[in-house]
Amino acid sequence: MKQENNINQNQDKPKSVFTEQRALHRRAYKHWSDKDYELLWNLFHQGKSTKEIAIILKRGDGAIRSKLRKLGFKHLVE
């Protein structure tokens, strides 16, 4: 009976930000591979928006903007 109550209590807990972001963006919070960086660079230089890149890389728009800023594209990021 006690185990049953714990299961019901866990269902009522709000999801963490991590869990919510992973539900929206499959690769959220995962390590960036060299291939990810290369694809980011290529898509950005093709003129894709950060939203388009986010969809392709399965990451959040904020993660794309942040990574581009860290790579030195502060003045070009939306």
What distance in Å separates the CA atoms of residue 14 and residue 2, rounded to the nearest whole number?
21
Long-range CB contact pairs, 9-15, < 8 A, 24+:
none
Per-residue pLDDT 10s for the chain (78 aa) are: 555 554 545 555 557 755 666 555 566 567 788 999 999 999 999 999 999 999 999 988 888 998 999 888 877 765
Q: Which of 78, 22, 28, 34 is nearest to 57 (CA)?
A: 28
Residue ranges of domains in the chain: 2-70
pTM of the model: 0.64
With vertex at residue 62, the alpha carbon angle to CA 59 and CA 55, rounded to the nearest 5 degrees, is 35
